[in-house]
Amino acid sequence: MGLNNNLQHLIKVSAPLWAGEAEVVRTYWDSPVRNLETDLLWLRRQCFKEFNGKGLGEHKDLGIFLGPLTEIIESFPKIDREVSRHHVADLIETIHDEFTHYCLFADIYDAIRDENTPPLDPHKLEIWEEDKLLTDMRIEQNHAHGEIGLRASHFTEGGYCTLFREGMRLQGRGGNDDLIAEACRIIYEDEFGHMLGGIVGLEEEPMSDSEYELMTDLVVKQLRARIRMRNAEFSQPLSNERIEAIYNGDIEPEPFDFAKAEEVMASAH
């Protein structure tokens, strides 16, 4: 069973932008802008996203930790009355996964910081301008376009696991890079199958051509914003000129794992 033409087109227009986000991270690893201070900066910012990221349709827009946690508490007296036990189990799994990712990056931060840098305090982490633009865009699209907006936000979540995949490739370089690589490997192995499942799951959704057209437009806007978000997170290793060139297609698209996607689809039937 193959993916429908609309979904294949969505993947095709996304692939160059996934590659752009990957280029940001890959360029940073060997960039002259990189030092301990910039490593600590991106780790703080990534911890913020894992601890308090918003814009994915979470309960009351409270974020990926507080949203599910609040929903679980509010659902407790309704379990197997108005709320499915399996829905609550999914919420618990979401909290566990996201908080585990936070712990992995926070542990690296505390392992590599110097003695004059205090331990990571998640309550002092702050969003940065480019991430706020992405978050606000997602929330606005979610509310304006309902289910199509939510599907677009979930489709772009993680940017096809580009950070984790590029982080894994640091393995063997030693020192802090090996710590980063191991954390990214764990998260990648946890996330990639789920991410693919979310993408191919669109195959099961009854969407018209016009709905796919709208979703594709929303996805492209979000993925472009993701590149600028990631570039700022990693201390601007790419120039604005390079980012504009990526927007215009001057990049080799990120290969999509269609074989793995077929496996995911087959296992779901």
Per-residue pLDDT of 62-98, as tens digits, reads: 888 999 999 999 999 999 999 999 999 999 998 999 8
CATH architecture of the domain formed by 5-267? Up-down Bundle (1.20)
Give the percent of the chain with pLDDT over 90.
Answer: 80
Residue 126 has pLDDT above 60, yes or no: yes
pLDDT confidence band for 208 (50 / 70 / 90): very high
User: Is residue 106 very low, low, confident or very high in pLDDT (cuts 50, 70, 90)?
Assistant: very high
Range in 8-17, 73-82, 203-212, 227-236 with the lowest mean pLDDT: 203-212
176 phi and psi angles, rounded to 5 deg? -60, -30
Give the residue extent of every domain in the chain: 5-267
Q: How confident is the model at residue 242 (pLDDT cuts 50, 70, 90)?
A: very high
Give pLDDT tens digits for 15-66.
999 999 999 999 999 999 999 999 999 999 999 999 999 878 788 888 889 9
**What rounded mean pLDDT belongs to the chain?**
94
What is each CA distance from 144 to 6, 54, 139, 199, 214, in whole angstroms? 22, 16, 8, 22, 12
pLDDT at site 258: 85
Highest mean pLDDT: which of 2-11, 55-64, 159-168, 257-266?
159-168
Q: Locate 107 and state its tokens.
A: 């542990």
Q: Is the dihedral of CA 10, 244, 46, 257 positive or negative?
A: positive
Averaged pLDDT for residues 160-165:
96
Note the pLDDT of residue 201: 83
What is residue 268's predicted lDDT score, i.e. its pLDDT? 63
pLDDT-derived band of residue 269, with 50, 70 and 90 as boundaries?
A: low
In whole angstroms, what is the distance from residue 170 CA to residue 214 CA? 37
* Residue linked to tokens 């304006």: 144
The set of long-range contacts for 35-44, using a CB threshold of 8 Å and a minimum separation of 24, is 36/112, 36/114, 38/234, 38/235, 39/112, 39/176, 40/109, 40/112, 40/113, 40/117, 41/233, 41/235, 42/233, 42/234, 42/235, 43/105, 43/106, 43/108, 43/109, 43/120, 44/109, 44/120, 44/125
Give the pLDDT mean for 145-173: 95
